[in-house]
Structure 1
């Protein structure tokens, strides 16, 4: 039986929010390793540190929801302040994370102008706005065209995966910026090892260098290839927790408002996809037709060749 998210502000909504946070906290006891082929910044952390970071973000989100309810903000206030809300929660969580480290003098707060951060905050509406609306106002307050299902029948698990995605994405942002703080790979390695942050297979300078290069290359591909493609296809990659580890899935969401915010380079990819959708099927059809024609001609030529050979052989046979 499908469990649905409450439609409006009520005791039922408050209990559902509390239940959601408790369930999410309990899921941190499961395996937290990345089960995909995509490199995530948090992959460099050991399981204990990763779990503590997730818990810190969950606590900050819980405090945020309580504050929003006490301030009695309306939906328009949350939409207008959404970017700032996300900025503040990321900064506060990273500051708390750094303050817990034993050797923290080399670590600094986020530099918000990197391409990774810009892409992260470009998706702030999907990442945090809809989640906060669900948690504070209920599913009736969500724009009816945002998700491809009737908003008054929003599954409980839909809100759960939005919360899990926010935790994982914010964690990735924090660790990515932490790694970008240092002037060299050696300094990064020393910082990670001194603070016991690394997983066992990420302790050498070579492994950290390879890990960082993979993050940068994927971030570039994500910015100019995957991100525009997802907007064009009205999809959003969402990261989830499971009993086996961390994985992702795509959900359908209306992203038409983001289309016009793409850069010229990103729009050129959209144009390429449109041309690809238009041209490739026709090229495939043409290749198939040409292939059939070539096979037909080849069979005819080979058949005629055999007939001439047989006639020549027959003619050379002496007549008795």
Structure 2
């Protein structure tokens, strides 16, 4: 038996779930994802290219050639549901099975409906599984499908829906798999179908509301009152879901309801988060853990952070602030994905720890180039002065400035790479912490967050500098509140002043104070933290105005305490003079004036008598 890992392909238009599933699959040594796609047309093209690569024997059929290269396609049933122009999940499954009959297809669905499972079997799927199942079940299902041992009978048997009701009235009803003769009965009534459709639509709306509440409950900045109100609404929705399942149940078409989770347990709103959940409070021992597990822990946490609010809470302008929320999230996903691929390349290239320091700059530059190309689009073209201009080649020409101003200033990249690739302990406040320790995990998470944010800023910087007011770019990428020329120029000026101030004042100050400022995903958005790190060599290399800043800080530190003491003494003396001397003198003068007024009034009364 070959030791070659099972090669898989992922097809899903949800980049979040696809990324999470790939992270989870890569934890297994005998599983590897070699291709992925977000639409049917691209998926079929990739399969055809795999056939061309693997078909070395002209007599080999495409199906057999592809099966030798690719062992399983994991396809989302919801593919294309939000875009009718795209190929739908069931249609793609049928097309794959018709062209490559020996290639197994595992369909994943977010709906626990017997009709869906039956339709999947009818479309030729080799297996069916819910996206929300636990990791053990999903792992078993994948291996059963690849070996042809998936048992459709384990799914609750359903009755075929054979009806002449108009499809516009019951759009959720589809033909399902053949059934044994013993199960052939009359078609369900129109009332049963209506109840079924109402139940499915109601559960979808309730699940969407539950997912929205779950996202809000994950906000660490919620007050106790708001959290209590949201928790109450969450319990109400869970109760409503239970009632809808019971009151609108259709025994002929449904399976027994799955056990409800306790109301106190928050359900992940994104399916991929269910793949790598860990029990809160589980201690992480100060021991070496598996490389893939450490990487999966950090990347899963980063993925979870990216799904939350991405507003800039630092008060410092960042290049990514001009992006729409969806584009900002897409950019972070892409940086995370490319960084994962970079780690795999370094791991397979057998790079040694001492080589990472000298390869640091090329590694970051390659990461930036890959992300820029994929995010903007390799062939993305704009028109200026009646000339077609390819954007990406122009952006890549700014590599030197991006590397100087952003990439080279990302701290501790070599330490992070060594920690992820070789489990080298992280030095935190002068103390080394091994991989798996809570302190090292927290520090690695902060370094990874900062890397993602700064690379994303590097992608946007040349775009803002070279194509700031191109209407097509503004429509495709920019936030609707920052689309006017005035707003864009103000934004660019703020960025320019920020870099000037950072270069002249902030960076020398940080070097002198032996610290780094990191941008991290925290609570309600992007925030800034400080970490200690020795920077003696950088301090010795300072010169010019940057050196004068440190001299001014040192002078202030030397003079300020004594000056404050002197001012305090002078101030105390001045207070004494004003209150005890001048104040008493003014008081005596005022007293004499009052006495004079009194004598005058008394003499005036005497004269009147």
TM-score with structure 2 length normalisation? 0.47
Match of 1:32 in 2: 310
Match of 1:228 in 2: 508
Deviation sequence 1:266-290 (CA, Å, 0-9, x none): 1111111111111122222111111
Q: Secondary structure at the match of 2:530?
A: strand
In 1, Cα distance between equivalents of 2:285 and 2:536: 26
Query: By how many angstroms is 1:16 displaced?
Result: 1.6
Change (3 A) 1:43 1:314: closer
- 5+ residue gaps, structure 1, are none
2:587 matches 1:300: no
Match of 1:119 in 2: 405
Match of 1:218 in 2: 498
Change (3 A) 1:314 1:251: same
Residue from 118, 127, 134 that aligns with 2:419: 134
Change (3 A) 1:172 1:2: farther
In 2, Cα distance between equivalents of 1:266 and 1:274: 13
Q: Which has the higher helix share?
A: 1
2:533 matches 1:244: no
The answer to whether the 8 Å contact 1:189/1:204 transfers is no
Alignment of 1:5-154 (within 5 A): 8=288, 12-99=290-377, 102-103=380-381, 105-107=389-391, 108=394, 109-114=396-401, 117-124=403-410, 126-140=411-425, 142=426, 144=427, 147-152=429-434, 153=437, 154=439
In 2, Cα distance between equivalents of 1:127 and 1:197: 31
Who wins on radius of gyration, i.e. which is larger?
Answer: 2
Q: Secondary structure at the match of 1:72?
A: coil
Change (3 A) 1:281 1:242: same
The answer to whether the 8 Å contact 1:229/1:270 transfers is yes
- 5+ residue gaps, structure 2, are 1-280, 383-388, 600-609
Residue from 465, 478, 495 that aligns with 1:180: 465
In 1, Cα distance between equivalents of 2:474 and 2:448: 31
Query: By how many angstroms is 1:69 displaced?
Result: 1.3
Change (3 A) 1:178 1:311: closer
2:473 matches 1:192: yes
TM-score with structure 1 length normalisation? 0.85
Between 12-21 and 169-178, report the one with greater CA deviation: 12-21
Change (3 A) 1:16 1:201: same
Deviation sequence 1:16-58 (CA, Å, 0-9, x none): 2123212322322211121221111000000111111111111
Change (3 A) 1:119 1:132: same
Query: By how many angstroms is 1:163 displaced?
Result: 0.8
2:433 matches 1:155: no
Q: Secondary structure at the match of 1:212?
A: helix
In 2, Cα distance between equivalents of 1:24 and 1:61: 12
Between 253-262 and 78-87, report the one with greater CA deviation: 253-262
Higher relative contact order (CA 8 A, sep 6+): 1
Change (3 A) 1:292 1:204: same
Query: By how many angstroms is 1:162 displaced?
Result: 1.1
Change (3 A) 1:309 1:43: closer
Between 76-85 and 18-27, report the one with greater CA deviation: 18-27
Change (3 A) 1:293 1:95: same
In 1, Cα distance between equivalents of 2:482 and 2:374: 24
In 2, Cα distance between equivalents of 1:176 and 1:232: 28
Alignment of 1:237-316 (within 5 A): 237-298=517-578, 299-304=580-585, 306-307=587-588
In 2, Cα distance between equivalents of 1:246 and 1:240: 6
Q: Secondary structure at the match of 2:520?
A: strand
The answer to whether the 8 Å contact 1:103/1:191 transfers is no
Query: By how many angstroms is 1:203 displaced?
Result: 1.1
In 2, Cα distance between equivalents of 1:258 and 1:67: 31
In 2, Cα distance between equivalents of 1:192 and 1:288: 59
Deviation sequence 1:92-125 (CA, Å, 0-9, x none): 21122222674353522151443x642324424x
Query: By how many angstroms is 1:314 displaced?
Result: 8.1
Q: Secondary structure at the match of 1:180?
A: helix
The answer to whether the 8 Å contact 1:127/1:165 transfers is no
The answer to whether the 8 Å contact 2:380/2:390 transfers is no
In 2, Cα distance between equivalents of 1:3 and 1:101: 48
2:456 matches 1:171: yes
In 2, Cα distance between equivalents of 1:272 and 1:220: 18
Change (3 A) 1:88 1:102: closer
Q: Secondary structure at the match of 2:398?
A: coil
